[in-house]
Structure 1
Amino acid sequence: MYPPTHVPQKTPFQRQVDAMPNKRLHTVDTTATAFLYANEAIIITDRDNRVVDVNPAFCELTGFTLEEVFQKTPEAFSILPLDNRHLDHLMREERRLRDRSKHQVSYRSHDGQYYPGMMSINRVRDQQARIDHHVIVLADLSAIPAHARHLNREVYFDALTGLPNLQLLTQLIQESIQHADQKQQPLAICSLDIDFFQTVNERLGAQVGDILLASFAQRVSHLLFGDDVLARVGGDEFVLLLHHGVDDTFFEKLLAAIRQPIVIEGQSIYLTVSLGVTLYPSDHVQGDVLLRHANQAMYRAKQRGRDTFHFFDPDQDRLLQVRHEKRQRFIDAINHNELCLYFQPQVDMRCGRVIGVEALIRWQHPEFGLLSPGEFLPIIDATSLEIDLGEWVLTQALKQLSQWQTRGIAIPVSVNISPTHLLASDFSQRLAELLERYPQVSPDMLKLEVLESAAMHDVQAALKNIARCQALGVGFAIDDFGTGFSSLTHLRQLPVNLIKIDQSFVRDMLVDTNDMAIVESVIYMANRFDRPMMAEGVETLEHAQALMELGCHLAQGFGIARPMPPEALPAWLAKWPHRADWQALALISH
């Protein structure tokens, strides 16, 4: 509304309406009504960009009257573009390009305070296609709380580009979420990161880099609609708030526009961005989480090769979150001593001698009871937690060896090592340090089992670490042999002391001719390469007899013994020589 002291006569715009032919009066009268009662601040300027009229919403927003701004340019009363160019220059430049444009600006109210706004310029041409006047719509973008409106502008805006900074963006996101909820409209939060900008900055210099950032900000701002917002939150990091529906086509056009060269001092510079998008309310979380999700999607775009966009997937994120929580719970299990080792005996079936035990991890879960490895190891697959767990198992195995030795039980222990752990650059060094902590345990009492697939990751690194560990006196076995695609190659290359035939072949060898053929082939190859072999998954005496006939004499499996806690092993060792079922087949010598 106009201030009470201002009682205007007919405005220039209304007088222009009066002068028009009657046949146009109805249409123009409707336009005049919209001008007077619009919620947005509207400024009408002549072809020289001098104010000829403003509507009541402008007066209410800024506190200026028509008399105070009449025949002045918008720049004269501090409507300023945020890229540090003069408004008159900006409008002349834009005049050559198109009749409609948008710019993020700051505007000064009558009390001298500055606020963020979005200025839309519409150029109206006469019948000769010459610019007759401009219609400027000024939208208030201020989400600054009332108590903070007297703070300096620098608190809320980026000094280089003039865009909202992270502090203001945080508030704008909250405002946008509320608006989206009220209007039941989608909101897109987009994280933009300029690809390889640091390289460009180092090559061209910081001064050119700053010009590039300002030009980039202006280019993206021109592509926005309505109350959409572009903010700068870091060196080459920007965020878009889009209040209207977006799709792949919009982002493809955005990326295409960004690829167009920016010319600085006659030099064409090409930029691309990686863009991550999350959509509210599909991603129904708080503003700071929305921003984090957009960043996650942006990094996925970079992983996909840059110069592209990626949409955040809330369902996938929930799965990742559950996985993360499970990993955190597993870390707690290590720290709270919920993990333990069980041991499964290994025997030489020719004489019945126990030649060792395999250490097998278990989780004594306070809620779900005793969990086997298959129920929790996938949680940490291919993560650094595999190394943490591996070192824990090695430490516990050496500790158990030491305790058994004090009871007169001298029996080697085999420990499974993950590919991630084996291929760690300091694996052999860390193993040597652990052995030094238990000097009473001979290194040859420790055997390491590696999956055949571990060697497939990096054969040379595996060879190097295996050789270093063998130099310490530690033996190596290939576990699950035959499950990989290059078994014969590994058998020739890897200097292992034992080959373990995978239980999946042994278990069904008596009923599946294909499995029997695989077992026969593995035994034949091991014998040709003069490598000892052990069969896993020996569940019955029939399995044992068949393996003996094929030439495999070492075995472990449920038919011999199930995995047991360490305190149960001495009793089992005492009973083993008296197993009548094995004696009947003369598999145990007396």
Structure 2
Amino acid sequence: MSERQLKILAIDDTPANLALLGMALQDEYSVQIATSGAKGLALAQDDPPDLVLLDIMMPDMDGFETCRRFKADAGLKDIPIIFVTALNEKNTEMAGLALGATDYLTKPIDINVARLRIHNLLERERLRMALLAREAEQRLAASVFAHTHDGIVISDADNLIIDVNASFTRITGYQRDEVLGLNPRVLKSGRQPAEFYQTMWHTLLEQNYWHGELWNRHKSGRHYAVLSSISVVRDQNGAIHHFIGLFADITQLKNHEHDLEQIAHFDPLTGIPNRLLLVDRLTQGIAQTRRSGRQMAVCYLDLDGFKPINDSYGHELGDQLLIAIARRITECLRAGDTVARIGGDEFVLLLLDLPDRDECESILQRVLAAVARPFLIDNLALRVSASIGFTLFPDDDADADTLLRHADQAMYGAKHAGKNRHNLFDPASDKAAHERGRALADVERALRNQEFELFFQPKVNMRTGKVLGAEALIRWRHPQRGLLLPQEFLPVAENSDLIVEIGDWVLRSVLDHLEEWRRNGLTIKIGINIAPRHLLREDFTRRLAAHLNDHPDLPASCLELEILETAALADIGRVYQVMRECQKMGVTFALDDFGTGYSSLTYLKALPAEVLKIDQSFIRDILRDPEDLAIVEGIINLSGSFRRQVVAEGVESVEQGLQLLKLRCEQAQGFCIARPIPAARLADWIANWQPNPQWLDLGNGLTSDQE
């Protein structure tokens, strides 16, 4: 088989299913495609392949029937068949193997695993065919064996060695004169139980032939694997004359199989189990726990502070840190427990045979302490911590996937509670999570069904009476609940990408309204609230520019983006960069709810917003709370010092407006001026707006005093 390029026949009614695998194999093998079982049989009968990759689900003749016909054909029956299927059930696998299939590959195909399996199978077939050929020769002339690559040992009727060849010496390490007169059991490694040899001898004496794999021990003491066949040579009376053993060293092949096992079940970085092996052990753990009557803990661990280290020092150092963390966690666990890495900096711990919750928490506390100790890597002292969520089975009597989900949910509870701690799953929070999921789906459907609409709250100069612009406010025209305010539906979307989609919808809608108003002779500036998640997206400025380009007749200065002060402080460097990029287009910015952030004075000069909007919570009690009055006066003076415009939100009375004018705050919005107005009525409201005469009188007096 090794003297020519091996041929693989792939039989699949949808060849594209195997295209990726075929491309990976084409450099090593000749790959032939058949789109049905019948065509595959015809091609194989004309020119038999060395291996068949066979799909199960095919019309007319499925993979099982195709396999039967291959095995019924004397010329094709020995060709190895590997089923390639999306079916991943034990009964399906057993049915295929019962028909004579050699192996299974499950879709989607892991290319590395598939190549190793195909290589190992063809290598095994090569060895089998070579052994068969050599066995035929040795029955004709048992003494002609000196130059074979495989080891040969000949023993007498009492199974004492009478001859070996040079390859025997090469493979075993024993010289010929060291083993003559000894029983071949001198090679035994001890890795096979006594029952293995009993079965081997029973087969050998009954059938005069045995073949199989076993582990032997080299003279140096190391173990090696062989593919061996033993034949009984009898005299003319049927009595045993001698035994001939033929064996090939397949240690490298077994190492490949071990590599395959590692790839399939272990994390390549840390060497601990991966998700696939974890799920298998978790399933076994559920069954074991039911039998024992004890408890099992499923624990989801996520590292705190790993990403900044990985970003600052690079992935190579980050990988070293993950390896060290995995080692420390393993050292904290008991025999029989499992730690698995399921991606990035996330681990799952499986704690079996627990007497109670206290034992679980004691183990988790050791893990937290171990992870929190400094790691010295490349002369750097690195610190991380862990947040662990856990659930206890059978108190939480769920399946494997649900247990993992519950532990994951509890982990987020640990993070929200301050990190570096463990948190037990709470069914009530699970119910709340489901409710949030349903609410999020409802909001997403509302967006798709165009149930959102915009209202606009005017902003005016109280001193001059001029309308300066308006703030766009989203509303949900709910089919059953009527008109909903944003606080009733936006919070559920704030931590998902849905808030970005809603923000994009608001931008597009505002620009559409501005263009319509401009055609009708109304030019106005509109403020739009931008969610932090939306603003901090890498493509925010590019998408904003695209929206503006869709309305070439509108100046970018018609938009004022309002951002929460507290949100800006969360990533001030990135926010500053985005603001500058938008301002280059002509878009302006306002800091909304100003005064509620804990670092207003420190960061104000670092945020290039043109406008500060005083939070309405301070305006509400400005007439009766001296502290609120002092805060508002301070913000107004601060805005003057930094040459920023200031707008008072939530002005609900004439008296509040008068007080603000005395403090030199002229711009305002609130119910005293106008409640939010539907888009279709905004132009009429502006045309009929009547400024408050008390504000105008006081404003004119203040102007005269200043003059």
Q: Is the 8 A contact 1:187 1:244 kept in 2?
A: yes
Tell me the CA shift for residue 414 of structure 1: 0.7
Which one of the candidate residues 624, 628, 632 is aligned to 1:511?
624
Which one of the candidate residues 409, 419, 436 is aligned to 2:549?
436
Alignment of 1:133-144 (within 5 A): none
Structure 2 unaligned residues grouped into runs of 5+: 1-189, 197-214, 216-260, 307-314, 371-383, 701-707
Alignment of 1:209-228 (within 5 A): 223=334
**Which residue in the other structure is 2:513 paired with?**
400
**Which residue in the other structure is 2:374 paired with?**
none
Q: Which amino acid aligns with 2:525?
A: P
Alignment of 1:99-498 (within 5 A): 169=281, 172=284, 175=287, 186-189=295-298, 223=334, 240=350, 242=352, 244-249=354-359, 252=362, 277-294=390-407, 311-498=424-611
Q: Is the 8 A contact 1:450 1:479 kept in 2?
A: yes
**Which residue in the other structure is 1:502 paired with?**
615
For 1:413-443, what per-residue CA distance to the aligned partner results, in whole angstroms no more than 9, with x for missing partners? Answer: 1111223333333322221111001112111
Tell me the CA shift for residue 477 of structure 1: 1.5
Q: Is the 8 A contact 1:255 1:273 kept in 2?
A: no
Q: Percent identity?
A: 38
Output the aligned Cα RMSD.
Answer: 4.8
> What SS is found at the alignment partner of 1:321?
helix
Q: Is the 8 A contact 1:189 1:279 kept in 2?
A: yes
Tell me the distance in 2 between the aligned counterparts of 1:421 and 1:287. 36
Change (3 A) 1:178 1:338: farther
Q: Is the 8 A contact 2:457 2:669 kept in 1?
A: yes
Q: Is the 8 A contact 1:351 1:588 kept in 2?
A: no
> What SS is found at the alignment partner of 1:450?
strand
Q: Is the 8 A contact 2:390 2:423 kept in 1?
A: yes
> What SS is found at the alignment partner of 2:689?
helix
Change (3 A) 1:588 1:175: same
Tell me the CA shift for residue 563 of structure 1: 0.5
Q: Is the 8 A contact 2:525 2:557 kept in 1?
A: yes
Tell me the CA shift for residue 298 of structure 1: 7.2
Tell me the distance in 1 between the aligned counterparts of 2:348 and 2:624. 64
Tell me the distance in 2 between the aligned counterparts of 1:161 and 1:475. 53
Alignment of 1:41-56 (within 5 A): none
Change (3 A) 1:250 1:459: closer
> What SS is found at the alignment partner of 1:350?
coil
Alignment of 1:72-83 (within 5 A): 75-77=193-195
Change (3 A) 1:74 1:229: farther
Tell me the CA shift for residue 529 of structure 1: 2.9
Tell me the CA shift for residue 541 of structure 1: 1.3
Tell me the distance in 2 between the aligned counterparts of 1:520 and 1:305. 36
Q: Is the 8 A contact 1:352 1:589 kept in 2?
A: no
Change (3 A) 1:179 1:367: farther
> What SS is found at the alignment partner of 1:509?
coil
Q: Which amino acid aligns with 1:492?
A: K
> What SS is found at the alignment partner of 2:470?
strand
Tell me the distance in 2 between the aligned counterparts of 1:174 and 1:394. 51
Change (3 A) 1:541 1:190: closer
Change (3 A) 1:281 1:522: same
For 1:144-189, what per-residue CA distance to the aligned partner results, in whole angstroms no more than 9, with x for missing partners? Answer: xxxxxxxxxx9xx979999995675575466457658xx6x65544
Q: Which amino acid aligns with 1:318?
A: K
Q: Is the 8 A contact 1:173 1:287 kept in 2?
A: no
Tell me the distance in 2 between the aligned counterparts of 1:162 and 1:455. 41
**Which residue in the other structure is 1:571 paired with?**
684
Q: Does 1:554 align with 2:667?
A: yes
Range 340-349 or range 546-555, more displaced: 546-555
Tell me the CA shift for residue 314 of structure 1: 3.1
Tell me the distance in 2 between the aligned counterparts of 1:315 and 1:415. 36
Tell me the distance in 1 between the aligned counterparts of 2:562 and 2:193. 76
Q: Is the 8 A contact 1:523 1:533 kept in 2?
A: yes
Tell me the CA shift for residue 359 of structure 1: 0.3
Change (3 A) 1:247 1:514: same
Tell me the CA shift for residue 346 of structure 1: 0.9
Tell me the distance in 1 between the aligned counterparts of 2:440 and 2:672. 34
Q: Is the 8 A contact 1:170 1:288 kept in 2?
A: no
Tell me the CA shift for residue 390 of structure 1: 2.0
Q: Looking at both structures, which has the greater relative contact order when contacts are Cα pairs under 8 Å and sequence separation is at least 6?
A: 1
Q: Is the 8 A contact 1:466 1:495 kept in 2?
A: yes
Q: Is the 8 A contact 2:596 2:615 kept in 1?
A: yes
Q: Which amino acid aligns with 1:319?
A: A
Change (3 A) 1:386 1:175: same
Change (3 A) 1:248 1:399: same
Q: Is the 8 A contact 2:636 2:664 kept in 1?
A: yes
For 1:364-412, what per-residue CA distance to the aligned partner results, in whole angstroms no more than 9, with x for missing partners? Answer: 2223222212222222334433333222211111111112222222111
Q: Is the 8 A contact 2:465 2:696 kept in 1?
A: no
For 1:318-362, what per-residue CA distance to the aligned partner results, in whole angstroms no more than 9, with x for missing partners? Answer: 333332332232222222222221100111122212110100122
Tell me the distance in 1 between the aligned counterparts of 2:366 and 2:300. 17
> What SS is found at the alignment partner of 2:640?
helix
Tell me the CA shift for residue 585 of structure 1: 5.5
Structure 1 unaligned residues grouped into runs of 5+: 1-71, 79-85, 87-153, 204-208, 260-271
Tell me the distance in 2 between the aligned counterparts of 1:546 and 1:492. 27
Q: Which amino acid aligns with 2:565?
A: E
Range 358-367 or range 375-384, more displaced: 375-384
Tell me the distance in 2 between the aligned counterparts of 1:192 and 1:532. 48
> What SS is found at the alignment partner of 2:590?
strand
**Which residue in the other structure is 2:205 paired with?**
none
Tell me the CA shift for residue 473 of structure 1: 0.9
Change (3 A) 1:194 1:549: closer
**Which residue in the other structure is 1:62 paired with?**
none
Q: Which amino acid aligns with 1:314?
A: P
Q: Is the 8 A contact 2:272 2:341 kept in 1?
A: no
Q: Which amino acid aligns with 1:417?
A: I
Q: Is the 8 A contact 1:349 1:587 kept in 2?
A: no
Q: Is the 8 A contact 2:593 2:614 kept in 1?
A: yes
**Which residue in the other structure is 1:533 paired with?**
646
For 1:25-60, what per-residue CA distance to the aligned partner results, in whole angstroms no more than 9, with x for missing partners? Answer: xxxxxxxxxxxxxxxxxxxxxxxxxxxxxxxxxxxx
Tell me the distance in 2 between the aligned counterparts of 1:542 and 1:299. 47
Q: Is the 8 A contact 2:660 2:666 kept in 1?
A: yes
Tell me the CA shift for residue 230 of structure 1: 6.5
Q: Does 1:542 align with 2:652?
A: no
> What SS is found at the alignment partner of 1:327?
helix
Q: Is the 8 A contact 2:332 2:366 kept in 1?
A: no
For 1:218-256, what per-residue CA distance to the aligned partner results, in whole angstroms no more than 9, with x for missing partners? Answer: x999x56xxx88698989977747355233435645997
Tell me the distance in 1 between the aligned counterparts of 2:625 and 2:317. 63
TM-score by length of 1: 0.58
Tell me the distance in 2 between the aligned counterparts of 1:551 and 1:192. 55
